[in-house]
Chains A and B, each alone.
Chain A
């Protein structure tokens, strides 16, 4: 991938990622995330991973982000306060963040990765090869992921569904008297 394409794209990607974090407005944050995900998808394309790039756009930039925005607008979330009111904490946060970022930059800029020559097989990134990997070497991980998603769905339903006894609970809780009948 040519540096001419890489650096501008990388800049946009990082800038929009920072936009997600720094923006006080939730809608703006979400839109920045979309931009960032798009940039990533472009990287995948450059890396010959076409299928992943497509999935990235369809699933994340598309479906997931739509849901995000939907929820944000539905709940009418307002802008949020940060740690701002305590400058000491902000300073600590910046300091620690700087150390982590500095460590990462220092570490990644020194790796031997650049020196490693990688030759890709012609079929790299095709659906067929990806499928072989996914349903071969990583079958267990793949299957277990589906279970993980199921757990997440069940959990989401449990938390979202209105309890039949919710109202009643509130009332009972307000009365300090013991409620024996519930346990028998």
Chain B
């Protein structure tokens, strides 16, 4: 089934001591903003924030070049100190960079830097400038810890850190209660995933202890995964994948990501492109040894990925908020990444992480530029013709759309095509179909977004049109850089059938193994043709339909009927969760509280104490009810305990 060759080259460690400064630099930035930010003013804050990430980027580049320039399988490690140690359990604060994490840190710091730069312009009118950049830097630091960690506990620090920062950043515009609650939702959904992560880590740890290996470093887990009992690797992998679905917004935990649009646009870009959401993908790739030891888990990963890719794409068609469309496209694209992991094509998955980071950051920042230029207009039905007013934003955004749609020659094409080819080659025909369909739909709704925003005539308020303007250079410069990357970023992984040598996959092979497609050149070209055709169909259809304006939605609505309404409301998953989880919990809380505690306690605490004037009367109230109820509870408790003890003793005797 799995064509992945798992012979991962034995690692050759190089000990260094500069890796720790990669996450530390933004952390110092945080301290600076908190301590001095308000005193030194905006320029200093923006400068320090960007400089901190630039330092990280420089050090990351150094590590990357070291890995690139050394023999295959080189790992640069920085052992800082022993963090946790008790009995069999040890965890160090050790950062390590191998091929896989070097790609990630380059993306995180590189794209992260551009987003920081962009934020200087975008947030220029924001009051709480220092606080915003403090969160932004903290977010980057947490993500870097996550990526650089060489063991699961340390990864969890970053893992929770990004969750927390996303909460803070999404809720940044705190005057809006809806936004604050979106942040909370993001955090809670992530916590569910985190519980999965923790339980998965526990499972693996104890299975490893049974093998005499009390360690949770990735190297150990991957090396010994094959020896784990089947239940342990399966349970561990599935639980960790639950964690991944939380961070990377997959079914069933994707509900937070669309709501996360509430945050400022650069934050959305940071969450969606460079950091948080790729954490789950990275973790699965990092633990590929474990997942390969549990093929069933890997299958689940693939199916969930494909299903998410398709489902989110259909939702994307019906959205009217520019950021919501992009949000669902992120969910969908993440689905592709998991699809790749699920079929064992880890390299392809990470390749897509990288190209997606480029074009999705570009699209988000472009959308931000539009929103900025149109004074906070987000509804694409009230846009149109923006191309005239914002030529740079328009041009770069168009490139982003073409890249994500998978038009040949742009970055998205190479990575998406590699994923689909891998799925087909692995015999996962169903997944491949989902992928192609999803690609077509993606092309359709992205074109719809582009046409409605930039083409035709402006449909909104004239004041907004008159004041519309191109964004300042701090904002357009990152757009141009990202557009360039979105175009050429794919050329590091040109497949052999097109005359390339897939250098990217070669580079990653020591970390995640080499995935052999094993397809005939003709078949591969045919597959390529099919996906290109699918993409072009989507683009063409949307172009024709939406050139007439947003009313084309009605055509879809008539054709799809009730389904369209469902798509528009994102299949009402929120309501389902609310009814199945949130409401029962709240009801249970109220019931427990009112039936036992309030009646016994609260009556006196709140009502009576205020009403009673003299202490004597107060005493009478206490003595005539509440304490007696209490004692009754204690008595029942005693009886229950006696019964329980007798029972457990009887069972003990019987057993």
Q: How many residues of chain A are within 8 Å of chain B by beta carbon?
A: 13
- What CA separation (Å) do A27 and B363 show in the bound complex? 85
Residues of B within 8 Å of A81, CB to CB, are 624
Known A100-B635, A103-B646; 5 more pairs at CB < 8 Å: A81-B624, A93-B632, A96-B632, A96-B638, A97-B635
Return B594 CB to nearest CB of chain A, in Å: 16
Residues of A within 8 Å of B640, CB to CB, are 96
Residues of A within 8 Å of B643, CB to CB, are 99
A96 touching B624 by the CB < 8 A rule?
Answer: no
Asked if B296 is an interface residue, CB under 8 A from chain A, the answer is no
> Of residues 57 to 91 in A, which have CB atoms within 8 Å of B's CB atoms?
80-83, 89
Give 8 closest A-B pairs by Cβ, nearest first: A96-B639, A99-B639, A96-B636, A96-B635, A103-B642, A93-B632, A81-B624, A100-B639
Return A127 CB to nearest CB of chain B, in Å: 38
A92 touching B636 by the CB < 8 A rule?
Answer: yes
> Of residues 602 to 655 in B, which have CB atoms within 8 Å of A's CB atoms?
623-624, 628-629, 632, 635-636, 638-640, 642-643, 646
- What CA separation (Å) do A151 and B226 show in the bound complex? 64
Number of A-B contacts (CB under 8 A): 32
Residues of A within 8 Å of B624, CB to CB, are 80-81
- What CA separation (Å) do A95 and B639 show in the bound complex? 9
B636 touching A80 by the CB < 8 A rule?
Answer: no
Chain B CB within 10 Å — which of A83, A89, A96, A100 has the most? A96
Residue of B nearest to A104 (CB): B642
Residues of B within 8 Å of A99, CB to CB, are 639, 642-643
Interface of B is mostly: helix
Residues of B within 8 Å of A96, CB to CB, are 632, 635-636, 638-640
Residues of A within 8 Å of B628, CB to CB, are 82-83
- What CA separation (Å) do A83 and B624 show in the bound complex? 8
Which of A80, A89, A95, A97 is within 8 Å of B629, CB to CB? A89
B635 touching A93 by the CB < 8 A rule?
Answer: yes
> Of residues 88 to 135 in A, which have CB atoms within 8 Å of B's CB atoms?
89, 92-93, 95-97, 99-100, 103
Residue of A nearest to B628 (CB): A83
Return A180 CB to nearest CB of chain B, in Å: 25
Return B642 CB to nearest CB of chain A, in Å: 5
What are some 24 contacts across the A-B interface (CB < 8 A)? A80-B623, A81-B624, A83-B628, A83-B629, A83-B632, A89-B629, A89-B632, A92-B636, A93-B632, A95-B639, A96-B632, A96-B635, A96-B638, A96-B639, A96-B640, A97-B635, A97-B639, A99-B639, A99-B642, A100-B638, A100-B639, A100-B642, A103-B639, A103-B646
- What CA separation (Å) do A80 and B619 show in the bound complex? 12
Residues of A within 8 Å of B642, CB to CB, are 99-100, 103
Return B511 CB to nearest CB of chain A, in Å: 61
Residue-by-residue, is B561-572 near A (CB-CB < 8 Å gives 1, otherwise 0)? 000000000000
Return A142 CB to nearest CB of chain B, in Å: 30
- What CA separation (Å) do A89 and B639 show in the bound complex? 15
Return A26 CB to nearest CB of chain B, in Å: 11
Return A100 CB to nearest CB of chain B, in Å: 5
Residues of B within 8 Å of A100, CB to CB, are 635, 638-639, 642
Residues of B within 8 Å of A103, CB to CB, are 639, 642, 646
Residues of B within 8 Å of A95, CB to CB, are 639
- What CA separation (Å) do A100 and B646 show in the bound complex? 12
- What CA separation (Å) do A89 and B632 show in the bound complex? 8
Residue-by-residue, is A145-181 near B (CB-CB < 8 Å gives 1, otherwise 0)? 0000000000000000000000000000000000000
Residues of B within 8 Å of A97, CB to CB, are 635, 639
Residue of A nearest to B624 (CB): A81
- What CA separation (Å) do A97 and B640 show in the bound complex? 11
Return B396 CB to nearest CB of chain A, in Å: 57
Residues of A within 8 Å of B635, CB to CB, are 93, 96-97, 100
Residue-by-residue, is B91-126 near A (CB-CB < 8 Å gives 1, otherwise 0)? 000000000000000000000000000000000000
Residue of A nearest to B637 (CB): A96
- What CA separation (Å) do A83 and B636 show in the bound complex? 15
- What CA separation (Å) do A80 and B638 show in the bound complex? 25
Residue-by-residue, is B75-102 near A (CB-CB < 8 Å gives 1, otherwise 0)? 0000000000000000000000000000
Return B547 CB to nearest CB of chain A, in Å: 66
- What CA separation (Å) do A106 and B600 show in the bound complex? 32
- What CA separation (Å) do A40 and B632 show in the bound complex? 27
Residue of B nearest to A82 (CB): B628
Return A76 CB to nearest CB of chain B, in Å: 10
Return A140 CB to nearest CB of chain B, in Å: 30
- What CA separation (Å) do A155 and B629 show in the bound complex? 27
- What CA separation (Å) do A83 and B633 show in the bound complex? 13
Return B280 CB to nearest CB of chain A, in Å: 50
Return B142 CB to nearest CB of chain A, in Å: 40
Residues of A within 8 Å of B639, CB to CB, are 95-97, 99-100, 103
Return B477 CB to nearest CB of chain A, in Å: 53
Return B488 CB to nearest CB of chain A, in Å: 65
Residue of A nearest to B616 (CB): A75
- What CA separation (Å) do A82 and B629 show in the bound complex? 10
Return A109 CB to nearest CB of chain B, in Å: 15
Given contacts A99-B639, A100-B639, whether A92 and B646 have CB atoms under 8 Å apart is no
Residue of A nearest to B645 (CB): A103
- What CA separation (Å) do A92 and B596 show in the bound complex? 14
Residues of A within 8 Å of B638, CB to CB, are 96, 100
- What CA separation (Å) do A97 and B635 show in the bound complex? 7
- What CA separation (Å) do A103 and B640 show in the bound complex? 11
Residue of B nearest to A97 (CB): B635
- What CA separation (Å) do A75 and B327 show in the bound complex? 72
- What CA separation (Å) do A109 and B632 show in the bound complex? 26
Residues of A within 8 Å of B636, CB to CB, are 92, 96
- What CA separation (Å) do A114 and B623 show in the bound complex? 42
Return B622 CB to nearest CB of chain A, in Å: 11
- What CA separation (Å) do A83 and B635 show in the bound complex? 14
- What CA separation (Å) do A103 and B649 show in the bound complex? 14
Return A67 CB to nearest CB of chain B, in Å: 18
- What CA separation (Å) do A123 and B334 show in the bound complex? 87
Residue-by-residue, is A29-46 near B (CB-CB < 8 Å gives 1, otherwise 0)? 000000000000000000
